[in-house]
A = this chain, B = another copy of it.
Amino acid sequence: MSTVSASGSGPQSSLEPLDTAIVRELAKDGRCSFTDLAERVGLSVSAVHQRVRRLEQRGVITRYSAHLDAESVGLPLTAFISLTPIDPAAPDDYPQRLKGIHEIESCYSVAGEESYILLVRVASPAALEDLLRRIREAAKVSTRTTVVLSTPYEGRAPAL
Contacts and interface: CB of A to CB of B under 8 A. Distances in A.
Interface of A: 11-15, 20, 23, 26-31, 58-76, 78, 80, 95, 99, 102-112, 117, 121, 146-160
Contacts of A28: 65
Given A29-B64, A80-B117, A111-B148, 11 more contacts: A27-B68, A29-B63, A30-B66, A31-B31, A65-B157, A78-B108, A105-B154, A105-B158, A109-B148, A109-B152, A121-B158
Given A30-B66, A63-B29, A65-B29, A74 B106 contact: no
A24 to B, nearest CB: 9
Contacts of A59: 69, 72
Given A110-B148, A149-B109, A155 B72 contact: no
